[in-house]
Amino acid sequence: MTEVVKNIKTYLFLYPRPVSEQLKEVRAGNLPSEIFYGAVELIDKGWDIKFSDCRYEGRFGRLMSKLKAYGIHLIDFGTIKDISSVDVVVVKDEFSVLLALTAKLLGKKIVFFDSLFKIPQRFWKRLAVRACLSMADKLISFSGAESALWQKEFGFDDSKLAVLKYAIDLPFYTPTNKVKLKDDGYILSIGRDLGRDFSTLIKAINGTEYELKIVTLPYLLEGIEYDHSKVTIYQHLSYEELFELYSKAAMVIVPLKKDITHASGIRGLLEAMALEIPAIVSKTIVLEQYFSEERSEVIFYEPENAKDLQRKIIALSANEERRNTIGAAARKKIENENNLLNFAVEFEQILLRV
């Protein structure tokens, strides 16, 4: 009989936002657990994990948030105290020299999780990143291609790297929230990061019969002219409102800029796939690693090419059989490869090796 070794380490997860209230919402079933990137599933498996919102609280928290916008990452006493109480610190979405240095001085392991975004060009940012890479015990990314680019640029040790496939909380999207395709629906696009290319999307839909609904932050549309009778912009929506939008969409478009090397667009794409809505997405090195056009999981178009996108929209609109095929194949893909429960098993093995 194989002996099960209990994990007795303690972990601190630090996110780029306060999470205490969100955790309550996840437990209540109002938010999908993927917003914690596997931590909730590990807690349910018996892991000793704590979260810290200290960096966002009080006057100092407000000051830190303002300075963070300029690339200045301060650290407060509360966070230092939280780091001192655990064995491993997991930092999501950012590199912070002070967090890494604090962890090392206190004899803790530090993991940077999904922090490999666009490679910095400014000297001082590159210097800070090099310091974090040298202190990191593990670097977890959502893409082997992304990791390879960073490793080529900075030359860190292979043993620090680990790759996880991005995943979502599949039960949250089914069965009660599952939607049906509408032949007379609109095009839906969702995304709030700087990699979104709404200009190309708006140009593409101008030659179609479709209306367009975009869920985003208004500043991402600054300088882009569009017909307000044909394009509707939403900012903050509840999941109930979001699922209502999904329920009447004919297709989902994920428009991304050229040369995106991180997993931009993947969460919105997986949501659509889980709901069996056919999706058209910009071709990037990361998304090509995740999804296959040959297996009818998605349709790719050339980034920043409005004519190519328009052709793909018109062709998909005219082919009901293909829409249904893509929807079914997409859902199966999520069930088999991008399910958060499977993600947690792989995440667990990576952290156990830290």
Question: What phi-psi label fits residue 271: left (phi over 0), alpha (psi between -120 and 50 degrees) or beta?
Answer: alpha
Backbone angles phi, psi at 143, to 5 degrees: -155, 130
Query: 212 and 151: one domain?
Result: no
In this structure, the number of other CB atoms found within 10 A of the CB of residue 335 comes to 13
Beta-carbon count within 10 A of 341 CB: 15
Q: In this structure, what CATH number is given to the domain that contains residue 77?
A: 3.40.50.2000
- Residue 183's pLDDT is 54
> Quick one: 83 and 163 in the same domain?
yes
For residue range 193-237, list pLDDT tens digits in order: 888 999 999 999 988 889 999 999 989 998 898 988 899 999 989
Inside any domain, residue 5: no
pLDDT value of position 179: 47
Q: Same structural domain for residues 53 and 124?
A: yes
80-108 tens-digit pLDDT = 999 999 999 999 999 999 999 999 999 99
Are 150 and 240 within one domain?
A: no
- Domain annotation covers residue 4: no
Which residues lie closer than 8 Å to 244 by C-beta, 6 or more apart? none
Q: For residue 142, is it within any domain?
A: yes
Residues 178 and 257 in one domain: yes
Per-residue pLDDT tens for 281-330? Answer: 999 999 999 999 988 899 999 999 999 999 999 999 999 899 889 989 99
Do 132 and 242 lie in a common domain?
A: no
Which residue segment(s) compose the domain that 90 sits in?
A: 10-167+339-352
